[in-house]
Amino acid sequence: MLLGDKVLNRVDAIRDIVEDALESFILERMSRENEAIPMGIAKETILAGGKRMRPVLGLLAYEACGGKEINEVIDSILSAELLHTATLIHDDINDQAKMRRGRPALHVTHGIPRAIIAGDYLFSIGFQLGAGYSEKVVDLVSSSCFGLAAGELRQLNHVRDLSMSPEDYYAIIDGKTAGPFSTGGAVAAIVAGAPQNLVDLMKSFGIELGRAFQLVDDLLDLTGDKTMGKPRGTDIHEGKMTLPLIHGLTILHGTEREQLEDVLTSFSDARWEELMYLLECSGSIDYSRQLIGNHVDRAIEYIEELPDSGARTMMLEMAESSRIRTT
């Protein structure tokens, strides 16, 4: 599709801006006496790629909200991406994940102590970059970090918890993913000098797209292939209760429910077909797809309230494409 291609190319161009900004930033920091050592380690994860959804959306939201000077927003974009990377590095330790972005996780190549310190260093930079903005921005960024910590702790508290509710699940993904997406959009709007109604719009948009994003991630753990950069079924091995599993446990009764419980409590790759069969029976995969659609629809409704602009078109396109994301 011609339009799609064009839009894709333009999103790629924005992703290039992000990559260039990250690379220049890292280069500059590598020249500083005390930063060369921690950045030398941290940059491996920063530059390993990733979708750059957060920074690309941040730049688009800034432009869609009337922002004119990319230099005034770039620090907040870098801040968000570096804070995100810090949490990825620490998460991988906590999840004992072997891979990240298709490469060995940082704690695998450098050991846990260096990975913890590299993450802490990125936290420090993230906040240094964020501190240059208004108190409102600082409070939003801090709050999203608090929410992220709370979300991760909630998730740990529910590992292998077969009685976990959808509300518990949403509290976790709102903290872990939707909160940071929402903050990213709101910060971009504030920095662009947008009125409060646009800031609120970007906040709501971020919540909905972030939820869709995490739901897709969790669904791909069940249905995805190796192009994701981590093996299928990682969440189940780690005992993470994602929405399709919670839904399946709610819908199924009798023997099938007992079977699903048994699969989840003593999971092995040999039981993969069994699990997928049960989730088909309960309609849990379709249910998750439906919810993803609902969240994307709502995200799109928020974007449609924005004044017309190229950035708005690209945001619509990105929201649409997240519906069918396969990696």
Q: Residue 260 and residue 272: Cα distance in Å, rounded?
A: 11
For tokens 């432009």, what's the residue? Answer: 63
Question: Which of the residues 93 through 112 are near a second copy (CB under 8 A)?
Answer: 93-94, 112
CA 234 → CA 9, 97, 105, 181, 225, distances in Å? 32, 8, 14, 23, 12
* Site residue total, a second copy (CB under 8 A): 45
Of 178 and 249, CB closest to a second copy: 178
156 vs 324 by CB, closer to a second copy:
156
Q: Which of 55, 67, 147, 185 binds a second copy (CB under 8 A)?
A: 147
Please give the full DSSP string across 216-264, using - where no structure is assigned.
HHHHHHHH--GGGSS-TTHHHHHT---HHHHHHHHH--HHHHHHHHHHH
Nearest CA among 185, 153, 166, 310 for reference residue 245:
166
Beta carbon nearer to a second copy, 73 or 198: 73
Query: At its nearest, how many Å lie between a second copy and the CB of residue 141?
Result: 8
Which of helix, strand or coil describes residue 23? helix
User: Of the candidates 72, 120, 168, 256, which one interacts with a second copy according to CB under 8 A?
Assistant: 120
Q: How many residues does the chain have?
A: 327
The residues, ordered by sequence, that sit 6+ positions from 102 with a Cβ below 8 Å of its Cβ are: 48, 49, 229
Q: Which of residues 55-94 bind a second copy (CB under 8 A)?
A: 86-87, 90, 93-94
Task: Please report how close the Cβ of residue 116 comes to a second copy at its closest, in angstroms.
Answer: 5
* Cα separation values, 235 from 96, 126, 244, Å: 11, 28, 12
Query: Does residue 165 belong to the site contacting a second copy (CB under 8 A)?
Result: no
Binding mask 7-46 for a second copy (x = CB under 8 A): -------------------------xxxxxxx--x-----
Answer for the pair 65, 306: CB distance below 8 angstroms, yes or no.
yes
Query: Is 324 among the residues that bind a second copy (CB under 8 A)?
Result: no
Residue 146 lies near a second copy (rule: CB under 8 A): yes
Nearest distance in Å: CB 34, a second copy: 4
Q: Which is nearer to a second copy, 73 or 86 (CB)?
A: 86
Binding residues for a second copy (CB under 8 A): 32-38, 41, 86-87, 90, 93-94, 112-114, 116-121, 123-125, 127-128, 130-132, 135, 138-139, 142-143, 145-147, 149-150, 152-154, 156, 175
